């Protein structure tokens, strides 16, 4: 028992028997001094990390994030570096266990730290979705670029299966997407560094944005036949007389603010109505004044988890707060009626009910946002449209003067993989190594697989004659055949998973060449959630002459670069995954040579895992599945919480990752365990920043 649950139980033991202090001094400090002291001592410590100053357990506890890094470096065999004396397995284990226990300690007045509450402004996507659902619109409220230019008729998560052939209608980026207010909108939100755009600390509210909320409200309320366009508003718009308006407004506020409005609050929101009536406004005009206040209200615009002075330093979230966390996590929108009912009934306090609700929500079409918001940001697919490959990569461009591009096709390929896993509740390991994928005619040609999939394309009608004509060609409208996507079984393991998606390979390349550094950094950040640090020293730019002229491959140029010892440490981690993908050109096409020079896709990871190409690299990743699963869980949990993860989240991440592994790595298990997790259900309840770091 003790061995199987070291984290949680040792946390209890810490409280019960303070023998751990001796353990640090007996088991940890000597190991660190022996193996790390030469570089990380008090004299000119490498990387500014002085480990000699931690003499007692109390010293170390005061700096837990540092010790989290120490333990991870040991576990990942990154430190001590190759060629230096290595600790024994028992020594490594002792350090890792002490750190794991320290991270799981209940150091917030006897409770574990669930993280501070995050006051979080709705993102543009969330505001759109919230108001859309609040009013019952059949379209978006306004157009905005995070809404990807796809019609998603194929996306039906309740079916439990993505069909073997789907039709994807892509709009030209910037084309009109159906929206109630064609020209209204809000400014966009920047994503947090190494994080998602929904992170509370990264979201601002400017005077201009506030005026935009007012303008959106004005535009909305000026829509002719608003009651028809917004069925959920029709009752309120039709209400006449203060008592009737008040009753309808109370219902509306409960949905807008995601919890029932007390009578005093309803009265407050009737003030604009009363003021307008006193001015002689009509009933309809007066109701609109109150509606405008709702649409610009902090209760709508912010997700807040206020302090409760009656409770201790940690409090469980109430049902309405949990309902909001659930719905903004999975739908990027407000809770629906069923969630609000569960919140009212108090059943969400039961983790089993939380899981049941999450599983219900995963079957709703609104879960598309998990693909279009979470996955797009997780994989940095939002940067795809900024990639502008050189014109010599001809298959990327089409149409007159090559003004049509593969951006939308590559995006669809990546989304369809995520959505297949999501809809079919497959294992998240498919993200690394799937033997299937979705392709259309253009991508099949782009990847050079026309011969392999000829029969399947014929059967699916993908080889129908081109039916484009006239202006449609100029606008790069798809022909009917190009809208058809078929599920393929990859002929071999060089393709499959996000690593080998053209979208990822393109967005991590420069216009002229591949960038093993950018690709490697993508792997570290997206797959492992361990983004490399920014370069510490200025480096000479790489010789940009193509291989034909320079006589060197990109890899050879980089290797020369890495001879600089200041660079070698980090690049030993960053570059190898990039080398593994060198068989893919800057737009994701397969290649065996760079100009006249053969590609070398072999490499070795810091812990000694070797590979000789993309398939073997995937094997190397899967040899340590846990590291990938942990990275994925961290991304998912950070997105769900709307905050960066902290050292005290580590035990929960480990717990969730273990549960995911036990359940066949299913995506739904990851979602269920996230929503049942301690930081998802609790919040720090201290008035200052008082929790210990």
Partner 1 sequence: MTARRIDRRTVLRGAGVALALPVLEAMAPAARGAAPAPPRRACFVYIPNGVRLDTWFPKTQGPKFELTPTLEPLAPVRSEVAVFGGLDRSFVPGTGVHAQCGACWLTSSPPTETKDGGFPTNTSLDQMIAREVGRDTALPSLELSCNDHPDAKETKYFESVAWYGPGHAAAPEKDPRAAFARLFGRPKGAAGSRSVLDLVAEESRGLQARLGAADRRKLDEYLDAVRAAERRIRAAERAAPDRPTPGDAPAAVPQDRGAYIRLMCDLVALAFRTDTTRVATLVIDPERWDSPRAYHGVFDKPQNHHGLTHTKDPDAKDKIAKIDRFHVEQYAYLVKALKAAPEGGGSVLDNAAVVIGSGISDGNQHLYSDLPVVVAGKAGGALKTGFYKNYPGTVPLANLWLSLLRAFGGKQPRFADSTGTLPDVVA
Residue 312 near partner 1 by CB under 8 A: no
- The site for partner 1, by CB under 8 A, has a size of 76
Closer by beta carbon to partner 1, 304 or else 479: 304
Closer by beta carbon to partner 1, 268 or else 624: 268
We find the least distance from the C-beta atom of residue 466 to partner 1, in angstroms, to be: 19
Using CB under 8 A, which of 18, 47, 160, 298 touches partner 1?
298
Which residues, including other chains, have CB under 8 Å from residue 339's CB and lie 6 or more apart?
323, 326, 327, 357
User: For residue 558, what are its two tokens?
Assistant: 């980089």
Using CB under 8 A, which of 62, 205, 568, 622 touches partner 1?
205
We find the least distance from the C-beta atom of residue 429 to partner 1, in angstroms, to be: 31
Integer Cα distance of 231 and 601 in angstroms: 58
Q: Is 620 helix (H, G, I), strand (E, B) or coil?
A: helix
Beta strands in 252-363 (DSSP E): 302-303, 314-316
Nearest to 380 by CA among 552, 521, 572: 521
Residue 272 near partner 1 by CB under 8 A: yes
Closer by beta carbon to partner 1, 287 or else 574: 287
Closer by beta carbon to partner 1, 185 or else 613: 185
Closer by beta carbon to partner 1, 23 or else 390: 390
Using CB under 8 A, which of 193, 337, 540, 689 touches partner 1?
689
Closer by beta carbon to partner 1, 149 or else 157: 149
Q: Is the peptide bond before 80 cis (omega within 30 degrees of 0)?
A: yes
Closer by beta carbon to partner 1, 100 or else 406: 406
User: For residue 652, what are its two tokens?
Assistant: 């929960």
Number of separate helices (H) and strands (E) present in the chain? 33, 15
Which residues, including other chains, have CB under 8 Å from residue 313's CB and lie 6 or more apart?
108, 109, 110, 111, 684, 685, 686, 690, 691
Integer Cα distance of 620 and 608 in angstroms: 10
Nearest to 580 by CA among 534, 511, 665, 522: 522
Using CB under 8 A, which of 85, 174, 280, 565 touches partner 1?
174
Residue 502 near partner 1 by CB under 8 A: no
Using CB under 8 A, which of 4, 43, 206, 563 touches partner 1?
206
For residue 507, count CB atoms less than 10 angstroms from its CB and return exposed for 0-12, middle for 13-18, buried for 19 or more: buried
Q: CA of 34: how far to CAs of 23, 88, 91, 626, in Å?
A: 16, 12, 11, 29
Using CB under 8 A, which of 403, 454, 545, 610 touches partner 1?
403
Using CB under 8 A, which of 5, 58, 175, 345 touches partner 1?
175
Using CB under 8 A, which of 295, 570, 616, 633 touches partner 1?
295
Q: Is 486 helix (H, G, I), strand (E, B) or coil?
A: strand
Question: Which window, 3-11, 288-296, 421-429, 590-598, contacts partner 1 (CB under 8 A)?
Answer: 288-296
We find the least distance from the C-beta atom of residue 264 to partner 1, in angstroms, to be: 10
Residue 223 near partner 1 by CB under 8 A: no
Size of the chain, expressed as the number of residues it contains = 693
| Beta partners for residue 167, in sequence order | 484
Which residues, including other chains, have CB under 8 Å from residue 582's CB and lie 6 or more apart?
514, 516, 553, 554, 555, 594, 599, 600, 601
Span 63-82, contacts to partner 1 by CB under 8 A = none
Span 339-368, contacts to partner 1 by CB under 8 A = none
Span 600-629, contacts to partner 1 by CB under 8 A = none
Closer by beta carbon to partner 1, 382 or else 583: 382
Residue 151 near partner 1 by CB under 8 A: no
Nearest to 631 by CA among 543, 534, 523: 523
User: For residue 29, what are its two tokens?
Assistant: 């400090």
Question: Which window, 183-191, 231-239, 365-373, 562-570, contacts partner 1 (CB under 8 A)?
Answer: 183-191
Closer by beta carbon to partner 1, 182 or else 598: 182
Report whether 355 contacts 675 (CB < 8 A). Answer: yes
We find the least distance from the C-beta atom of residue 468 to partner 1, in angstroms, to be: 15
Residue 268 near partner 1 by CB under 8 A: yes
Using CB under 8 A, which of 6, 87, 157, 185 touches partner 1?
185
Cα dihedral 559→563→567→573 (10° resolution): 50
Residue 379 near partner 1 by CB under 8 A: no
Tokens 């946390």, residue located: 11
Span 109-128, contacts to partner 1 by CB under 8 A = 116-119
Q: Of all helices (H) and strands (E), which one includes residue 539?
A: none
Residue 293 near partner 1 by CB under 8 A: yes
Which residues, including other chains, have CB under 8 Å from residue 219's CB and lie 6 or more apart?
181, 184
Closer by beta carbon to partner 1, 43 or else 206: 206
Tokens 């109370």, residue located: 250
- The site string for partner 1 over 459-488 (x = CB under 8 A, - otherwise) reads ------------x--xxx------------
Residue 200 near partner 1 by CB under 8 A: yes
Q: Is 179 helix (H, G, I), strand (E, B) or coil?
A: strand
Residue 46 near partner 1 by CB under 8 A: no
Using CB under 8 A, which of 249, 292, 558, 658 touches partner 1?
292
Residue 254 near partner 1 by CB under 8 A: no
Residue 204 near partner 1 by CB under 8 A: yes
Span 407-426, contacts to partner 1 by CB under 8 A = 407
| Beta partners for residue 488, in sequence order | 437
How many other CB atoms sit within 10 Å of the CB of residue 593? Answer: 11
Residue 299 near partner 1 by CB under 8 A: yes
Closer by beta carbon to partner 1, 313 or else 606: 313
Closer by beta carbon to partner 1, 220 or else 340: 220
Nearest-Å Rg of the Cα atoms of the chain is 28
Closer by beta carbon to partner 1, 44 or else 310: 310
We find the least distance from the C-beta atom of residue 500 to partner 1, in angstroms, to be: 22
Residue 301 near partner 1 by CB under 8 A: yes
Distance of CA 430 to the CA centre of its chain: 17
Report whether 71 contacts 95 (CB < 8 A). Answer: yes
We find the least distance from the C-beta atom of residue 689 to partner 1, in angstroms, to be: 6
Integer Cα distance of 597 and 575 in angstroms: 19
How many other CB atoms sit within 10 Å of the CB of residue 191? Answer: 17
Closer by beta carbon to partner 1, 32 or else 411: 411
Closer by beta carbon to partner 1, 98 or else 269: 269
Residue 22 near partner 1 by CB under 8 A: no
We find the least distance from the C-beta atom of residue 229 to partner 1, in angstroms, to be: 14
Q: CA of 616: how far to CAs of 78, 448, 475, 602, in Å?
A: 21, 21, 41, 9
């Amino acid at each position: 028992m003790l061995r199987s649950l070291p984290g949680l139980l040792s946390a209890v033991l810490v409280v019960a028997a303070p023998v751990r202090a001796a353990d640090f001094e007996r088991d940890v400090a000597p190991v660190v001094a022996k193996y790390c002291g030469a570089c990380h001592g008090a004299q000119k410590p490498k990387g500014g990390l002085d480990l000699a100053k931690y003499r007692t357990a109390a010293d170390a506890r005061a700096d837990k994030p540092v010790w989290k890094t120490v333990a991870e470096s040991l576990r990942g065999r990154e430190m001590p570096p190759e060629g230096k004396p290595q600790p024994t397995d028992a020594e490594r284990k002792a350090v890792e266990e002490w750190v794991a226990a320290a991270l799981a300690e209940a150091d917030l007045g006897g409770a574990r730290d669930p993280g501070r509450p995050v006051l979080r402004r709705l993102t543009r996507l969330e505001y759109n979705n919230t108001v859309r659902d609040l009013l019952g619109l059949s379209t978006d409220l306004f157009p905005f670029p995070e809404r990807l230019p796809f019609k998603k008729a194929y996306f039906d998560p309740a079916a439990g299966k993505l069909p073997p052939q789907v039709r994807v209608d892509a709009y030209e980026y910037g084309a009109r997407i159906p929206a109630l207010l064609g020209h209204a909108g809000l400014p966009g939100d920047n994503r947090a560094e190494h994080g998602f755009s929904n992170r509370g600390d990264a979201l601002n509210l400017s005077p201009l944005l506030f005026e935009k909320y007012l303008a959106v409200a004005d535009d909305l309320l000026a829509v002719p036949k608003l009651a028809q366009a917004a069925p959920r508003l029709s009752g309120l718009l039709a209400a006449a007389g203060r008592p009737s308006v008040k009753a309808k407004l109370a219902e509306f506020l409960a949905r807008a603010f995601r919890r029932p409005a007390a009578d005093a609050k309803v009265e407050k929101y009737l003030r604009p109505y009363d003021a307008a009536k006193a001015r002689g406004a009509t009933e309809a005009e007066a109701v609109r004044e109150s509606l405008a206040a709702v649409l610009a209200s902090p209760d709508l615009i912010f997700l807040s988890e206020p302090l409760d002075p009656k409770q201790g330093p940690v409090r469980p979230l109430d049902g309405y707060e949990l309902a909001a966390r659930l719905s903004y996590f999975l739908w990027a929108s407000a809770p629906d009626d069923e969630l609000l009912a569960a919140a009212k009934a108090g059943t969400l306090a039961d983790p089993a009910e939380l899981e049941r609700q999450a599983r219900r929500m995963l079957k709703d079409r609104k879960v598309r946002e998990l693909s279009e918001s979470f996955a797009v940001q997780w994989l940095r697919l939002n940067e795809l449209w900024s990639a502008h490959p050189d014109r010599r990569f001809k298959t990327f461009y089409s149409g007159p003067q090559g003004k049509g591009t593969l951006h939308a096709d590559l995006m669809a390929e990546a989304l369809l993989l995520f959505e297949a896993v999501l809809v079919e509740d497959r294992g998240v390991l498919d993200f690394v190594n799937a033997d299937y994928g979705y392709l259309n005619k253009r991508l099949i040609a782009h990847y050079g697989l026309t011969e392999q999939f000829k029969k399947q394309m014929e059967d699916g009608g993908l080889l129908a004659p081109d039916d484009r004509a006239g202006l449609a060609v100029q606008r790069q409208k798809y022909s009917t055949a190009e809208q058809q996507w078929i599920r393929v079984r990859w002929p071999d393991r060089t393709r499959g998973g996000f690593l080998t998606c053209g979208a990822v390979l393109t967005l991590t390349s420069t216009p002229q060449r591949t960038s093993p550094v950018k690709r490697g950094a993508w792997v570290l950040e997206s797959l492992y959630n361990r983004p490399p640090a920014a370069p510490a020293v200025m480096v000479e730019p790489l010789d940009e002459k193509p291989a034909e002229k320079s006589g060197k491959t990109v890899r050879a140029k980089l290797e020369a670069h890495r001879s600089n010892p200041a660079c070698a440490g980090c690049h030993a981690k960053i570059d190898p995954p990039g080398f593994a993908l060198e068989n893919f050109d800057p737009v994701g096409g397969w290649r065996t040579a760079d100009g006249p020079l053969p590609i070398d896709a072999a490499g070795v990871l810091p812990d000694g895992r070797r590979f000789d190409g993309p398939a073997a690299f995937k094997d190397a990743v899967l040899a340590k599945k846990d590291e990938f699963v942990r990275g994925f869980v961290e991304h998912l949990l950070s997105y769900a919480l709307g905050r960066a993860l902290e050292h005290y989240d580590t035990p929960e991440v480990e717990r969730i990752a273990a549960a995911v592994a036990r359940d066949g790595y299913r995506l739904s298990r990851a979602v269920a365990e996230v929503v049942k997790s301690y930081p998802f259900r609790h919040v720090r309840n201290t008035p200052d920043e008082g929790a210990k770091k």
